[in-house]
Structure 1
Amino acid sequence: MRKILIVGAGQSGLQLALGLQSHGYEVTLMSNRTADEIRTGRVMSTQCMFHTALQHERDLQLNGWEGEAPRIQGVGVSVAGPPDEGTGASTRLIDWVGKLDHYAQSVDQRLKMAGWMEAFAERGGQVVIHGVAVSDLDYLSRAYDLVLVAAGKGELVSMFGRDASRSPYDTPQRALAVAYVHGMGPRPEHPEFDAVRCNLVPGVGELFVMPTLTNSGRADILFWEGIPGGPLDVFQGIKDPNKHLELTLELLARFTPWEYARSTKVELTDACGTLAGRYAPTVRHPVGQLPSGGSVLGVADVVVSNDPITGQGSNSASKCAASYLASIIERGDQPFDAEWMQAAFDRYWETAQYVTKWTNTMLAPPPEHVLNLFGAAGGLQPVADRFANGFNDPADFEHFFYDPDKTSAYLAGLTSAPPRVPAQGHGQPSAPNPAQPPR
């Protein structure tokens, strides 16, 4: 039985720990918080997971909240125009909703990570509640065949050097502000199904609105991404959650009044339902060197950290865990040396590169051909649907999004192409699994 140590109890660390455990590995999980501390703590993310990532959870029977979480069946895009000279209110120049081939879901990570940690322990896994420094890891690593670092913040990240060739930004590109709320009204357009709303305010930033499941039931997430130094960059230093929500709503009224109209009765889900911060999107080298000469492997956002503007964080974490799980199993009883670690990361990067490219593109002002594409989606449903499904498979953007000639050819071909047929089981998982992890 091979012994593996995983430091970090987020989406990727826990999914990988539970996956390895199901294949007979002896896994130790280290976390700086207990399950109860995670469950009652501050919100950690704005997770919205699409079909491929959700399927990785189903494959491991970790989808215990699938029956409770809202089924997100679309992704909507709005582009705000300049404020009206008379009223000062913004209006929408572009507004459409693309339908997903398979539904997406968002489960508050406080709920999911606490449940997964308890499931891991109940299935015989060893959980150590302790913060970990590099010196601790250097000592602990001698007792394990493989050490994986899945804690994306703190001292341990310093072991993984920045890959400048894959990291075009060295400063944060957005100031982030999140509020989990109850009481959001329905969308006036297509109220019959749930959708994520992406509101683009040129020169200012973005507002995302997404349904989620939290500790107190169904909720919605209001998520501002502000260009640093701009009018949305006002949350730093605000500690009062009610003040945070008040400011969130003031900005909705100013920049996205169509979203504010359904937010007039919202209240925070709980006192820990807000989050603010910023970080520079960074790709790091995957193999960290310990002082004694040993090697450790970085996981998910430790080594590929993208801005959440494209909603890929939890999806990438799930895909990384699935990729690493396959690489570990295929290794058999051979050593997990630095060469293998690099190869395991390279395998994950084959898909992660498309996420990084798309995310970094969306952080820049959209070029004319992309604005034309967004405009065309308002009248051509296949365009809206294809963009929406790119959230599940960002590699598809290579074929119609980045290059003006490919965009033009795609749009020109739609008039003569037959209607797009959704995948079998529209809106349904390909292999639903009702299994519930222990709560």
Structure 2
Amino acid sequence: MRKVLIVGAGQSGLQLALSLLDHDYDVTVMSARTPDEIRSGRVMSTQCMFPPALEHERQHRLNLWEDETVRVEGLGVSVAAPDGSRALDWFGELDGYAQSVDQRVKMARWLELVEERGGKLVIHGVATSDLDALAKLYDLVVVAAGKGELVGLFDRIPELSPYTAPQRVLSLAYAHGVRRRPEHPDQAGVRFNIVPGVGELFMIPAYTLSGNCDILFFEGVPGGPLDCWDDRPGPREHFGRILELTKKYLPWEYERCRDAELTDDKATLAGGYTPVVRNPVGTLPAGGRVLGMADVVVANDPITGQGSNNASKCAASYLDSILAHGDKPFDEAWMTSAFDTYWEYASHVTTWTNAMLQPPPPHVLQIIGAAGENSRVARRFVNGFSDPTDFQHWFLDQAKAEKYLATA
């Protein structure tokens, strides 16, 4: 039985671990926190998983909250006008529903599932020196911890990483009591609100420790009015500041959440990170090789909502590569090949996400405007969040966009 060590207890690492257990691998997961520590900790993300990623979870019996979690049926785009009105507002339907489960809920339970399904769980922070010794005990070591010392094992690839600083300042809060848009009272959807030159506000229906809720998630242009979190306010002040910013820049969303309350006192987060692509193979001081996965090696800004989706798809891709490799050694050539297979998909996400961080070119503005008049265009844009590889065929290229709009 082949032995695999997975360092990190997020979407990618735990999905890979649990799917390998389904194929009778000897799997050990190392996590810096216990399940109870995760449940009682601060929120970690704004995850919204689209149909293909949800299907990976169903295949391995990991969709434990699907019945109670609100179903996200579409995505709406609104653009703020200088006077506080909406210069543009439309809603496109997804071909299949998306869902967002608080990672405190999901990762805590998945950690418990590792042991329940026959894997080994070690609660311990891992340093590079630890991996030196551990690598000799396993056929394959996978690093799925996207923060901390271990990320330093994987070199940045400059030609694939155009940014050297965060492109957005991130802040979020989970809240109960957010009303649905009055124009769609029976239809839950992610709302993508754009304030030109200032940033974006996403309203994301989700499921948390206390049931269904909504995530208010601001992406602020650095140096702008949404870049206001350096003082690290407490949870109540943090949420109050988000509401004040919403009232000022997006009053139609404020009307929905003016009476909302935080879900709990750990339900806020602020920060930012630099988008980056790294070499997938890390070399340990003693010469051993480890494989990086998901946001360890491909970290995108969350403006396109692809973080948890990338993690799920990376885990599924790595699973296929591991199974196809049989009993052969997991050497550097195999690690590179496994990543290259995943990169065939992830490269499209990275190109699209990096483009969305820049002021939109005229043809993109034309597409967004056309979507308000043509449900076919709106539906194609919205379903690109499920399959970002489609954007290369019409959204990212001016000539292709003009050709598509002429036929649409």
Structure 2 CA distance for aligned equivalents of residues 232 and 291 of structure 1: 42
Structure 1 CA distance for aligned equivalents of residues 15 and 97 of structure 2: 21
What's the secondary structure of 2:12's corresponding residue?
helix
Structure 2 partner of 1:363: 357
Structure 2 CA distance for aligned equivalents of residues 263 and 123 of structure 1: 41
Structure 2 CA distance for aligned equivalents of residues 238 and 267 of structure 1: 19
* Deviations 1:310-355 (CA, angstroms, capped at 9, x unpaired): 0000000000000000100111100000000000000000000010
Structure 1 CA distance for aligned equivalents of residues 399 and 296 of structure 2: 36
Structure 2 partner of 1:52: 52
What's the secondary structure of 2:335's corresponding residue?
helix
Residue 236 of structure 1 and its aligned partner are, at CA, apart by: 2.3
* Deviations 1:160-187 (CA, angstroms, capped at 9, x unpaired): 0001111110100000001000000111
Structure 1 CA distance for aligned equivalents of residues 316 and 120 of structure 2: 21
Matched, 1:99 2:103: no
Structure 1 partner of 2:270: 276
Structure 2 CA distance for aligned equivalents of residues 3 and 176 of structure 1: 38
Structure 2 partner of 1:247: 241
Choose which of 310, 316, 330 in structure 2 pairs with 1:336. Answer: 330
Choose which of 344, 347, 372 in structure 2 pairs with 1:378. Answer: 372
Structure 1 CA distance for aligned equivalents of residues 268 and 289 of structure 2: 37
- Letter matched to residue 165 of structure 1: E
Structure 1 CA distance for aligned equivalents of residues 288 and 232 of structure 2: 42
Residue 237 of structure 1 and its aligned partner are, at CA, apart by: 2.6
* Deviations 1:282-322 (CA, angstroms, capped at 9, x unpaired): 00000000011010000100000000000000000000000
CA RMSD of aligned residues (A): 0.6
Structure 2 CA distance for aligned equivalents of residues 325 and 408 of structure 1: 39
Q: Which sections of structure 2, spanning at least 5 residues, go unmatched? A: none
Percent identity over the alignment? 63
Matched, 1:261 2:291: no
1:146-295 → structure 2 map (5 Å cutoff)? 146-295=140-289
Matched, 1:326 2:308: no
1:302-321 → structure 2 map (5 Å cutoff)? 302-321=296-315
TM-score, normalized by length of structure 2? Answer: 0.99
Structure 1 partner of 2:8: 8
Structure 2 partner of 1:112: 106
Choose which of 120, 125, 138 in structure 1 pairs with 2:119. Answer: 125
Structure 2 CA distance for aligned equivalents of residues 326 and 45 of structure 1: 27
Residue 54 of structure 1 and its aligned partner are, at CA, apart by: 0.5
Structure 2 CA distance for aligned equivalents of residues 186 and 76 of structure 1: 12
Matched, 1:138 2:129: no
What's the secondary structure of 2:256's corresponding residue?
coil
Residue 122 of structure 1 and its aligned partner are, at CA, apart by: 1.2
Structure 2 CA distance for aligned equivalents of residues 14 and 298 of structure 1: 14
Structure 1 partner of 2:29: 29
* Deviations 1:30-58 (CA, angstroms, capped at 9, x unpaired): 00000011111100000000011010101
What's the secondary structure of 1:24's corresponding residue?
coil
Count of aligned pairs between the two proteins? 408
Residue 123 of structure 1 and its aligned partner are, at CA, apart by: 1.5
Runs of 4+ in 1 over 4 A off after TM superposition: none
TM-score, normalized by length of structure 1? Answer: 0.92
Greater relative contact order (Cα < 8 A, sep 6+): 1
Structure 2 CA distance for aligned equivalents of residues 120 and 164 of structure 1: 37
Structure 2 CA distance for aligned equivalents of residues 382 and 226 of structure 1: 30
- Letter matched to residue 13 of structure 1: G
Residue 203 of structure 1 and its aligned partner are, at CA, apart by: 0.4
Structure 1 partner of 2:397: 403
What's the secondary structure of 2:64's corresponding residue?
coil
Structure 1 CA distance for aligned equivalents of residues 233 and 226 of structure 2: 17
